[in-house]
Structure 1
Amino acid sequence: MSDLSKTPVTIITGFLGAGKTTLISHLIRNAGGRRLAVVVNEFGTVGVDGDILKSCAIPDCPAENIVELSNGCICCTVADDFIPTVEALLKLDPKPDHILIETSGLALPKPLLKAFDWPAIRSRITVDGVIALADAEAVAAGRFAPDVAAVDAQREADDSIDHETPLSEVFEDQIACADLVLLTKPDLAGPDGVSRARDIIAAEAPRPLPVIEVAEGVVDAAVLLGLEAGAEDDLAARPSHHDGHHDHEHDDFDTIMIEMGEITDPADLAARVQHLAQTQNILRVKGYAAVAGKPMRLLVQAVGARVRHQYDRPWRADEARITRLVVIAEHDHVNAAAIRQALEG
């Protein structure tokens, strides 16, 4: 009977830097005996997330089960990328017990859910659940609108006024589509911040949602996998700002790839990234750096002015020791020349 059952799929969505890759890395290592496959939708030109996950590969989730799609948002390239990828994973021997899909930080989950209605895969897979990750500190700070309370009051007073930013729409669509919300980095937000973030999520959610605090991606797989939500059959309960539209655009964001040689001081690079966040309207920096005299590769990740860097693995013999960073910024405010100058020096 197992050959006739649908393969469950979990969609893991969340705003930029919310911790999706960290969570999936933990699930790969603690899947409770499930054989996993992972689809990573990278936004930008450097396969950072896919490379991180492949370095976590174990027998129950070997590297060949981790597929990266880098040609754009999978909800916009369904026929060309997403459907063939899922079909290929279902043909693996042995077949995965569960498929995880990490969307880009800018993806809208509902168009992706609609893709599961495609005849080629509908009878073979089901969306076990949509997991939305939310950075507690960022949500508590109200970064998705200049003043969340004021915007809400204005919208209630005049339906013709729309002061929402693209970032708020992404956040709200992800919450509206979710079956479970993981509130990440609660230690940075503190008890008051966590409480504020919970209130904002509750206000945005179209229905009551369970919210779980998670630090460093550590959560029992039994909590996330096996929700049996059948989300592809529950679209009406998951409203989106883009309902009624056939597509959506990511023109509100730009990605800039910076490639340079070895660096000498990780702290100096982190300071440059932090200064960049304070002087340019950037959202996210992620990538790798080669540090002179060090055999290990330096992983660099930043959300706004919050920068984290750590050595993740040795450089392979077939890799060029170069530094590659992807910067994601809002389109209307991006200054590519200034960004390059700030990072390259």
Structure 2
Amino acid sequence: MQKSSTQKFPAGKIPATIVTGFLGAGKTTLIRHLIQNANGRRIALIVNEFGEVGVDGELLRSCGAPDCGEDDIVELANGCLCCTVADDFLPTLQKLLERPNPPSHIVIETSGLALPKPLVQAFAWPGIRTRTTVDGVVTLVDAAAVAAGRFADDEAALAAQREADPNLDHDNPLEELFEDQLGCADLVLLTKTDLLDHDGLQRVQAELAPHLRPGVKSLHVRQGDVAADILLGLAAAAEDDIAARKSHHDAEEDHDHEDFASFAVTLPEQAAPEALIARLHPLIAAHDILRIKGFVAVAGKGMRLVLQGVGARLQHYYDRDWQSDEHRATRLVVIGRAGLDEAAIRAALAA
């Protein structure tokens, strides 16, 4: 019995799930698994890319799920959704709702830089509120990254760093973003947990706990393997609970992402994945690259290679054959903090 696929929501509203999480936390992997195991649900996806190459959108389209057609995936590449709610998000949502055969569930994958609260607030807008509801905000957390202290929330340590280095005497937007995503969550999914032992996981959960609202649960996830009946059907009606979802940006009219930079690189076919990865490791360390992702054309291989990198961790796999009308080229998106030396990175990749 597929109980949640026929679950009734208030006044016939179509439920929407917002999937958020920092760069490389595993959002696309989670959604691919979801649409491959939708159990008859008509799921429409809104994918928000940060970067010039629509990597996440392409990966989702290639998942091969029979219930997820080309028209069910909408990619918004005009900046972070939380900054373009009125211009991009709301018109897209309205078009989905006005279809002759509308979806039974909408899933919104935000970029790693997005604040979820402005999206939740958008569901209270006239014309939207009566037709859809935020079923839940699902936040993914890279547990291994948190354990390594990359996005840790240690106020004493931060204060000491700021005293020692005047350049750090300001609010850290990475931490604020991380905390805002946790504070808005109805469900938290911890990924990369296989890289930690029991004590490490306990430390991560203790670090996250102060930023979660009462009653919010966390689950350990591998390769996005979460049952649709758990991920969907939370019935949180988050737009009615917005006051309880505290944010560092509550007093601001908007926010910016000037602390981040992104650019795309196109390269020719690569002789071997190992050679490219060998070039990437020192490059990531030297320039403190936060995220690198894209598709690689490998000489002599008929299949496309997907490359996903978070910090020093690089993963790659072949996902599908190159199409006859596709140009075989390597396309990567590089994401880091503002001031990223784009020229040096491009030169090193092309060497």
Q: Same fold (TM over 0.5)?
A: yes
| Gapped regions of structure 2 (runs ≥ 5) | 1-7, 163-167
1:119 and 2:126 aligned: yes
Equivalent in 124, 138, 143 of residue 131 of structure 1: 138
SS of the residue aligned with 2:255? coil
Looking at structure 2, the residues matched to 243 and 34 of structure 1 have their Cα atoms a distance apart, in angstroms, of 35
Q: Unaligned stretches of 5+ in structure 1? A: 156-160
Query: Residue 338 of structure 1 is aligned with which of 323, 326, 344?
Result: 344
Q: What is residue 270 of structure 1 aligned with on the other side?
A: 277
Counterparts of 2:194 and 2:153 in 1: how far apart (Å)?
Answer: 24
Partner of residue 226, structure 2: 219
1:290 is displaced (CA, Å) by: 0.7
Match of 1:290 in 2: 297
Which of 75, 86, 100 aligns to 2:107? It is 100
Give yes or no for contact 2:153–2:175 (8 Å, CA) kept in 1: no
Q: Which residue of 1 aligns with 2:50?
A: 43
Deviations 1:188-227 (A, max 9, x none): 1222221111011102224342010000000111111001
2:303–2:318 contact (8 Å) kept in structure 1: yes
CA shift for structure 1 position 54: 0.7
CA, structure 1 residues 312+141, in 2 after alignment: closer, same or farther (shift >3 Å)?
same
CA spacing shift, 1:208–1:328, aligned 2, 3 Å: same
- Aligned pair 1:170/2:184, yes or no? no
What whole-Å deviation, never above 9, does each CA across 1:122-175 have from its counterpart, x for those lacking one? Answer: 1101000000000010111221259555238999xxxxx976422111110000
1:106-255 pair list within 5 angstroms = 106-145=113-152, 150-151=157-158, 164-255=171-262
- Paired position in structure 1 for 2:268: 261
Work out whether residues 45 and 106 of structure 2, in 8 Å CA contact, stay in contact via their aligned partners in 1.
yes
Partner secondary structure for residue 270 of structure 2: coil
Q: Match for 1:11: what amino acid?
A: I
- 1:182 offset after TM fit, Å? 0.1
Change (3 A) 1:59 1:132: same
SS in 2 for 1:218: coil
Contact kept? 2:189, 2:219, Cα under 8 Å: yes
Which deviations, in whole Å up to 9, do the C-alpha atoms of 1:97-135 show, x marking residues without a partner? 100000000101011111112212111010000000000
Counterpart amino acid of residue 172 in structure 1 = E
Letter in 2 for 1:342: A
* Contact 2:16 2:106 (8 Å CA) reproduced: yes
How far 1:91 sits from its partner (Å)? Answer: 2.5
Aligned to 1:90: 97
Pairwise CA distance, 1:59:
3.0
Distance 1:292 1:7, change over 3 A: same
Per the alignment, do residues 116 and 262 of structure 1 end up closer, same or farther by CA in structure 2, a change over 3 Å counting?
same
Map Cα deviations across residues 302-327 of structure 1 (whole Å, 9 max, x no partner): 00110001111111111111111000
TM-score, normalised via structure 1 length: 0.93
Q: Number of aligned pairs?
A: 339
Q: Is the 2:290–2:336 contact (alpha carbons within 8 Å) kept by the matching residues of 1?
A: yes
Q: How far apart are the structure 2 equivalents of 1:205 and 1:31?
A: 28
Q: Which of 36, 58, 63 matches 1:56?
A: 63
CA distance in 1, matches of 2:259, 2:14: 35
Alignment correspondent of 1:158:
none
Please name the residue that 2:3 is paired with.
none
Aligned alpha-carbon RMSD (Å):
2.1
Q: Contact conserved, 1:75 with 1:115, CA < 8 A, in 2? A: no
- AA matched with 2:349: L
1:12-43 Cα distance to aligned partner (Å, 9 max, x none): 00000000000000000111221101000000
For 1:59, give the aligned amino acid.
P
